[in-house]
Structure 1
Amino acid sequence: MDSRRKDRREARLKEEIEKYRASNPKITEQFANLKRKLYTVSAQEWESIPEIGDYSLRNKKKRFESFVPVPDTLLEKARQEKEHVTALDPKSRAASGTETPWSQTPVTDLTAVGEGRGTVLSLKLDRLSDSVSGLTVVDPKGYLTDLKSMKITSDAEISDIKKARLLLKSVTQTNPKHPPGWIAAARLEEVAGKIQAARQLIQKGCEECPKSEDVWLEACRLANPDEAKAVIAKGVKTIPNSVKLWMQAAKLEHDDLNRSRVLRKGLEHIPDSVRLWKAVVELANEEDARLLLHRAVECCPLHIELWLALARLETYDNAKKVLNKAREKLSKEPAIWITAAKLEEANGNTSMVGKIIERGIRALQREGLAIDREAWMREAEAAERAGSVATCQAIIRNTIGIGVEEEDRKRTWVADAEECKKRGSIETARAIYAHALTVFLTKKSIWLKAAQLEKSHGTRESLDALLRKAVTYRPQAEVLWLMGAKEKWLAGDVPAARAILQEAYAAIPNSEEIWLAAFKLEFENNEPERARMLLAKARERGGTEKVWMKSAIVERELGNLDEERKLLDEGLKRYASFFKLWLMLGQLEERLGHLEKAKEAYDSGLKHCSNSIPLWLSRANLEEKMVGLSKARAVLTMGRKKNPQNPELWLAAVRAELRHGNKKEADILMAKALQECPNSGILWAASIEMVPRPQRKTKSMDALKKCDHDPHVIAAVAKLFWHDRKVDKARNWLNRAVTLAPDIGDFWALYYKFELQHGTEENQKDVLKRCEAAEPKHGEKWQPISKAVENSHQSIEAILKKVVVALGKEESAAENNKH
């Protein structure tokens, strides 16, 4: 029935809505027939319809044109606001509830209030004076300072103090034997500024709770300086076994003699207090301290610090007796054994040190004490800091292997040594490596780590001894021989370096690395004939492509062009896929002016090694030199097709366009390059330098988002700071660049140039020293200068200075191009 009614109801409602809509049509429906006719309107008629203006704006303007003068009431109010107020507002006082109602309040003049301040100050001074002795406790010098720091108490705070006072009064009356109640009540009065009331309260507290240390200490703190001693004297008389009270009594004395007397008096009552013994020993001279410590160890035989302090003050023989007694009393204390070892070392008995530590560990293990390896390592580091190297080594030797699985030993020990090195515990790290090398005699990695440690923190002699030992156990490790030879060479001992390399060759007969090291030694020390002989032998024995390349380099330096070409041709017959030989051949022809032959060499090289970017770049540069930009552009495009996503080829193309003044084409190429290689630092760095100066900051932000840790981008940002004269920021960013890429010489040159302009002589020397240590090999400006024939035997310092000059010339050329 309900569903039938529902259908009828809905049908009726629908009918009513339709009737209503028929009688009241919408506006859109009323104009529907007219809208349909709009399609007959022509385009000309549409255009001839006049524009309706914006009448609303015109009306608004009219509305604001009327002018109404400012009423006098407003001007009067402004005048009153600027006046100085000379009377208190009675309403505000009535609101606080502290005065009479509003109608009865007289108008108070502020001048009268100012005069009253003097009376208030005198009242405060009276309150702070001491009523017992009649002497003032106000410090006249510090009083003004105290007044400045005083907080003005509001009405709310006063009411809070009153409530707290009532509450604490209730606490002290209901439970007078509760010390914290009296302390809190006294402190409340102190906060409220009623020092005398505070003293009276704490005095009552002392009477009610005579056995509470805290109450006596509070009474001492609140008492005036003259009475403090008397208060604490009462306290120690009441509680003679309180260490805290005796220490406080000693603090109140002004000279060491009286302090010592008080502390000794305290020790009569509490002979087993370690704190009192320590305090009295600190105040005594050496002889008295020794006597006191003898008594102290009798009274407190289980306290290790007292035994060790006594041992330090005694003579060698007596110290041994003291430590033996200490060992009897404290059989589970490792510090005694370590002190004994240090004692022996200090007296020259280094042979005993290891035995003592070994015996100590066995004794501790017998006592059931677990040997904590980490704790013993910390003790070793502490011994090193104290100058006891033999003790440190003995501890490491005997404890480093405890609790370490056999298969984890190497990894764990190397990690331990590295951690010690970071913390500056060099002797501990050295001891760990020494022990590791007794277990892993033939592990090259450990020998290398130990050698690195000696190189950075040891002497040349210690490094040489270690490397000699290393090659005895690992004669097949080329790197150890080469390291030893290099160290000798750096020390200026070329014959010794030569001898090491001969030994190395005898140990590893067919090692190319050793041949090349021997060649480098002779070549760098201006012995070209010896170098040639070595390389000739290496070639006879079937040397690799590197040997042929080095041979050609020697001939190039000596000026034997025919011999150089011959070696390169022979090398290429054997190693056609080694791009450096093709590159050298092309460069040789270019130097001689045979550009067509150079082109042929590069083309042949690209057939064999199409992935060699230096060959593509050299080929493009040659085409640019011979024909012009169009041919170079074609070569670079071909190179990009063969080697997609290569930033160096993109950068070369951009720079080629810039060299010929095609800024627009360069920008288009750069945009494409960044699309293809979005994370390339060299491209982002170049794009920062290409944009106008105002846009560089934004560009550098984009670059840092894409490649935050790229040294090229960091160097480009450093240049921005440099140009903006932000010297410290520029220095930080340049330092970051050379830290990230120490092998790139261009950054060192940039850093050095910056320090020459803005840094001190010390900064310049520091950069130079760091650059020499880094021995950079790469860099767009660095490589052409360092590899030039005339610079082949130049020092890193000389090359660095030449690169700085080249950077200066480049900058001035760039400025001229802009103008």
Structure 2
Amino acid sequence: MFLLLFLLLGIMQAPVAPKNRLEFLNTRPPPNYVAGLGRGATGFTTRSDIGPARAAPDLPDRSAAAVGAAGPSGVGRGRGKGPGEEEEEEEAEDKGYDENQKFDEFEGNDVGLFASAEYDEEDKEADAVWDEIDKRMDSRRKDRREARLKEEIEKYRASNPKITEQFADLKRKLVTLSAAEWDSIPEIGDYSLRNKKKRFESFVPVPDTLLEKARQEKEHVTALDPKSRAAGGTETPWAQTPDLTAVGEGRGTVLSLKLDRLSDSVSGLTVVDPKGYLTDLKSMKITSDAEISDIKKARLLLKSVIQTNPKHPPGWIAAARLEEVAGKIQTARDLIKKGCEECPKNEDVWIEACRLANPDEAKAVIARGVKAIPNSVKLWMQAAKLEHDDANKSRVLRKGLENIPDSVRLWKAVVELANEDDAKLLLQRAVECCPLHVELWLALARLEKYDAAKKVLNKAREKLPKEPAIWITAAKLEEANGNTSMVGKIIERGIRALQREGVEIDREAWMKEAEAAERAGSVATCNAIISNTIGIGVEDEDRKATWVADAEECKRRGSIETARAIYACAIAAFKSKKSVWLKAAQLEKAHGTRESLDALLRKAVTYTPQAEVLWLMGAKEKWLAGDVPAARHILQEAYAAIPKSEEIWLAAFKLEFENHEPERARMLLAKARERGGTERVWMKSAIVERELGNSSEERRLLDEGLKLFPSFFKLWLMMGQLEERLGNFSQAKEAYESGLKQCPNSTPLWLSLANLEERMSGLSKVRAVLTMARKRNPHNPELWLAAIRAESRHGSKKEADILMAKALQECPNSGILWAAAIEMAPRPQRKTKSSDAYKKCEHDPHVIAAIGKLFWHDRKVDKARTWLNRAVTLAPDVGDFWALLYKFELQHGTEDQQKEVLKKCIAAEPKHGEKWQPISKAVENSHQPVEAILKKLVVALGKEEKAAEDNKH
């Protein structure tokens, strides 16, 4: 009954079954549903399902059931919260942050703590304050950190020295090796191949096709060099060879065949030179494939040129030269021969044909050329070059003149080959044929005698009225014959005549003519040209500066007479200008005689009696000439002209003092003091008493001078030196300190006080004095150098290095400091230090001299000489550099070089120098000449160097 009812119900519901089944398939499965789990199926996963070996993230459940469970408010979107999750949310709310959020690597878990707050100006200011605090704390620790780092580096370098430092002592000992010991050192062989294992090598025969292809690619075209062929070689056809080895093997066979064929079988003597033939074979040129391709292309192009335009000479010349380069000399000759036939009126083609022809045929070729173009000067000159005898050359040139009588070039060439008589006749004919060429007229005038030369020049002037060279030559002619009075008139008349003809007088060109006349020995002509043309085109207000500049330029070029003539014109125009007289006097002193200088100075003081320097120069020249009475007379005249001049008083004192007349010097200085002399008069008075040994009088004069001139530091310095000589160190210290109160910026006073304190109290007191001096006088390199040397003398090398670094920071452009730094640096570092010094002080003489000494110690003689010469050129007044150069020449120079240095030093008269002044100003050396002081300084330098070496060892 129940079964029947169930079947009826099934039949009634059958039509709606597909719709229910469709709705079921469209719904999403419940969470964590596994199909067939109720039947015992467990399911499985693959690598494609899970991807890499890591757990998949928990994605939110977006199923319909989950959405429905969320409720209308949307809380718990995706799925509902379990009791554990609710507890975690409550815990996160208590803490104020979520532990599961992303960790920030800069701010940690506090990111977003104040994310909602604004960053205002107060926050910015606070951050800036904290940054400054951080920087301040870091700077406080910087010195300790750098010191610790430096100590660690020094320890590391001490424990791990460089290779160069390890072998430095051994390298220094290499200077003791003799030449024989150097030669006995064995050469280093190559032992790298001894222990190499021989690897197995197999060789496979190469196919014949590959060899044939390689032979075709590497074919060479060989030809003899055309130069060797032109020198007598024969053209030998060479077949193409497989490689260069076959060429070398066949060379001997070809040589024997040639010699056999060309030998004389009757007499047994050969008619060829085997050595010359070998030279021809060695001159064989091997042309590469690329060159052959380029030659072929050029040959095709030039062939097209000469075929399309056979009357174009450059095409034939280029084609012939191409064949010459390709080694086909006969083809080149044939081409240029055709070119001569096609272009018989072109001289370049004939000259090229003459060049390419055999020496025996060249004359015939050029003969055909001059026959075709009889008016070509180039062809006649080429024909003359082919002749080897002067007579034949002259004959060819005269024949050319028959065809071209107006050719100046041919006339010059034929005159050069003729003797004097024939040349005169030729020039007479030449000026008839070429009357407008001035060189021929001048050449004829030079060959003629005086009267005939005047007639020739007159005729030349008629033919060429605008030519200035004729007037200059006429002036030289008169000067050569002793008529110097006519020279100026001729130049003056010539300039007027040229101006009438409309010729512009170029002042610069006429000055060059004056210099040329001076070089030719025509001084009067030079003076006449300058006096008549120096003012042309120069404004009145610019004359003085322009003329002095012109004279100095002529002096630089070595045209002394021209410069003297310009100064003579300037003196005549500006008689009261002291500067012009002084320039002229300097020129006479350098290049004139004592008599000419004395005459000029006498004339100068006549026009400018108030010029002290001219009076003093005249007196000094008389003194140097040994005429002391004449020097006294000049100074008396100068005193009469300028009675209030202190320079003249001091010059008179020096004249008497240097000539061992102390009483006269005393009297002159006493009169100068009575007349109210300056501080220099008091200083000179104390110097006289110091030399005479009158200490009490010297002290009295210094006391009087210091009362009158308390700010003159030299008087304080002399007072302190006086007390030091007498052994009164405390009074000397008091004098120096008193002087420093009056003159706190005087470097010599500070240095003298420091030296005295070093003798009395030692290093600590010296440091205090020099520190105070540097505070009073910042940026003073001399004070820094004194402190550095004081530390070095007492063995404090580290402190000296620290002071040197500070000194170079404060005075980065000081030459004396850089020179001392080079000397203090260790030997391996001196090159780098000298490079840095040269970059900072490129033109400082102290740095230049220090680099020269470095080259000297390295035995680079030529470089050392060059740099030391540069030093004395930059500072000729510093005696230390002259002593270095003279000592160097004594060791490495010749006797002539030593004399030259001595001569230049005497002429420079050095007055300064750290080591020069103590010797030159010593009482025992007060009247010694420059030569004696230089030699004493060289001896002192040798002793210092020896003492330094002893201390080092």
Q: What is the match of residue 47 of structure 2? A: none
Match of 1:215 among 326, 342, 349: 349
CA–CA distance in structure 2, aligned partners of residues 750 and 209 of structure 1: 75
CA deviation string 1:513-551 (max 9, x = no partner): 111111111111111111111111111111110011001
Return the offset for 1:156: 2.8
Question: Could you say which structure has the larger radius of gyration?
Answer: 2
- SS of the aligned residue for 2:653 comes to helix
CA–CA distance in structure 2, aligned partners of residues 349 and 631 of structure 1: 82
Aligned residue identity for 1:802: K
- Relative to structure 1, is the Cα distance of residues 174 and 669 closer, same or farther in structure 2, using a 3 angstrom cutoff? closer
- Relative to structure 1, is the Cα distance of residues 168 and 119 closer, same or farther in structure 2, using a 3 angstrom cutoff? farther
Matched, 1:723 2:857: yes
The 5 A counterparts of 1:454-533 are 454-533=588-667
- Relative to structure 1, is the Cα distance of residues 658 and 349 closer, same or farther in structure 2, using a 3 angstrom cutoff? same
Return the offset for 1:271: 0.6
- Relative to structure 1, is the Cα distance of residues 114 and 801 closer, same or farther in structure 2, using a 3 angstrom cutoff? closer
- SS of the aligned residue for 2:717 comes to helix
8 Å Cα contact 1:137/1:224 also seen in 2: no
8 Å Cα contact 1:88/1:110 also seen in 2: no
Aligned residue identity for 2:415: V
Q: What is the match of residue 51 of structure 1? A: none
After TM superposition, the structure 1 stretch with the greater mean CA deviation from structure 2, 802-811 or 333-342, is 802-811
Aligned residue identity for 1:370: E
The 5 A counterparts of 1:308-707 are 308-707=442-841
Aligned residue identity for 2:581: W
Return the offset for 1:209: 1.7
- Relative to structure 1, is the Cα distance of residues 87 and 613 closer, same or farther in structure 2, using a 3 angstrom cutoff? farther
CA–CA distance in structure 2, aligned partners of residues 197 and 664 of structure 1: 85
Give ranges in structure 2 of 5+ residues lacking alignment: 1-55, 61-98, 110-195, 222-240, 263-269
Match of 2:212 among 90, 114, 130: 90
Q: What is the match of residue 919 of structure 2? A: 785
8 Å Cα contact 2:431/2:440 also seen in 1: yes
Q: What is the match of residue 435 of structure 2? A: 301
CA–CA distance in structure 1, aligned partners of residues 927 and 57 of structure 2: 104
CA–CA distance in structure 2, aligned partners of residues 71 and 753 of structure 1: 63
- Relative to structure 1, is the Cα distance of residues 748 and 109 closer, same or farther in structure 2, using a 3 angstrom cutoff? closer
Q: What is the match of residue 61 of structure 1? A: none
CA–CA distance in structure 1, aligned partners of residues 923 and 103 of structure 2: 95
CA–CA distance in structure 1, aligned partners of residues 766 and 614 of structure 2: 47
Aligned residue identity for 2:832: T
- Relative to structure 1, is the Cα distance of residues 87 and 143 closer, same or farther in structure 2, using a 3 angstrom cutoff? farther
Q: What is the match of residue 46 of structure 1? A: none
Q: Higher helix share goes to which structure?
A: 1
Q: How many percent of aligned residue pairs carry the same amino acid?
A: 84
CA deviation string 1:739-789 (max 9, x = no partner): 111111111111111111221111211111111111111111111111111
- Relative to structure 1, is the Cα distance of residues 114 and 785 closer, same or farther in structure 2, using a 3 angstrom cutoff? closer
After TM superposition, the structure 1 stretch with the greater mean CA deviation from structure 2, 660-669 or 517-526, is 660-669
Q: What is the match of residue 6 of structure 2? A: none
8 Å Cα contact 1:311/1:320 also seen in 2: yes
8 Å Cα contact 1:548/1:567 also seen in 2: yes
- Relative to structure 1, is the Cα distance of residues 150 and 381 closer, same or farther in structure 2, using a 3 angstrom cutoff? farther
8 Å Cα contact 2:218/2:243 also seen in 1: no
- SS of the aligned residue for 1:152 comes to strand
- Relative to structure 1, is the Cα distance of residues 163 and 646 closer, same or farther in structure 2, using a 3 angstrom cutoff? closer
After TM superposition, the structure 1 stretch with the greater mean CA deviation from structure 2, 263-272 or 219-228, is 219-228
CA–CA distance in structure 1, aligned partners of residues 347 and 648 of structure 2: 80
CA–CA distance in structure 1, aligned partners of residues 572 and 926 of structure 2: 44
Q: What is the match of residue 176 of structure 1? A: 310
8 Å Cα contact 2:369/2:379 also seen in 1: yes
Q: What is the match of residue 287 of structure 2? A: 153
Aligned residue identity for 1:662: S
- Relative to structure 1, is the Cα distance of residues 446 and 35 closer, same or farther in structure 2, using a 3 angstrom cutoff? closer
TM-score, normalising length: structure 2: 0.74
CA deviation string 1:664-695 (max 9, x = no partner): 22222222111111111111111222222222
CA–CA distance in structure 2, aligned partners of residues 210 and 533 of structure 1: 101
8 Å Cα contact 1:582/1:605 also seen in 2: yes
Match of 1:241 among 375, 393, 397: 375
8 Å Cα contact 1:87/1:109 also seen in 2: no
After TM superposition, the structure 1 stretch with the greater mean CA deviation from structure 2, 194-203 or 425-434, is 194-203
8 Å Cα contact 1:87/1:110 also seen in 2: no
Return the offset for 1:195: 1.9
Match of 1:75 among 200, 212, 215: 200
CA deviation string 1:478-529 (max 9, x = no partner): 1111111111111111111111111111111111111111111111111111
Match of 2:330 among 191, 196, 199: 196
- Relative to structure 1, is the Cα distance of residues 279 and 88 closer, same or farther in structure 2, using a 3 angstrom cutoff? farther
Give ranges in structure 1 of 5+ residues lacking alignment: 1-19, 40-69, 100-106, 129-135
CA–CA distance in structure 2, aligned partners of residues 273 and 367 of structure 1: 27
Q: What is the match of residue 950 of structure 2? A: 816
- SS of the aligned residue for 1:555 comes to helix
Aligned residue identity for 2:427: L
8 Å Cα contact 1:605/1:615 also seen in 2: yes
- Relative to structure 1, is the Cα distance of residues 34 and 445 closer, same or farther in structure 2, using a 3 angstrom cutoff? closer
- Relative to structure 1, is the Cα distance of residues 745 and 234 closer, same or farther in structure 2, using a 3 angstrom cutoff? same
Aligned residue identity for 1:93: R
CA–CA distance in structure 1, aligned partners of residues 707 and 350 of structure 2: 101
- Relative to structure 1, is the Cα distance of residues 397 and 23 closer, same or farther in structure 2, using a 3 angstrom cutoff? farther
Return the offset for 1:310: 0.4
- Relative to structure 1, is the Cα distance of residues 395 and 148 closer, same or farther in structure 2, using a 3 angstrom cutoff? farther
Q: What is the match of residue 291 of structure 1? A: 425
Q: What is the match of residue 882 of structure 2? A: 748
Return the offset for 1:573: 1.0
Return the offset for 1:812: 2.1
- Relative to structure 1, is the Cα distance of residues 677 and 719 closer, same or farther in structure 2, using a 3 angstrom cutoff? same
Return the offset for 1:250: 1.1
8 Å Cα contact 2:220/2:288 also seen in 1: no
CA–CA distance in structure 2, aligned partners of residues 240 and 35 of structure 1: 103
- Relative to structure 1, is the Cα distance of residues 71 and 596 closer, same or farther in structure 2, using a 3 angstrom cutoff? closer
After TM superposition, the structure 1 stretch with the greater mean CA deviation from structure 2, 496-505 or 341-350, is 496-505
- Relative to structure 1, is the Cα distance of residues 401 and 307 closer, same or farther in structure 2, using a 3 angstrom cutoff? same
Q: Across the two proteins, how many residue pairs are aligned to each other?
A: 745
Aligned residue identity for 2:320: A
Return the offset for 1:94: 3.7
After TM superposition, the structure 1 stretch with the greater mean CA deviation from structure 2, 712-721 or 768-777, is 712-721
8 Å Cα contact 2:219/2:242 also seen in 1: no
8 Å Cα contact 1:647/1:673 also seen in 2: yes
Aligned residue identity for 1:809: K
Aligned residue identity for 1:722: W
CA RMSD in angstroms comes to 3.0
Aligned residue identity for 1:190: E
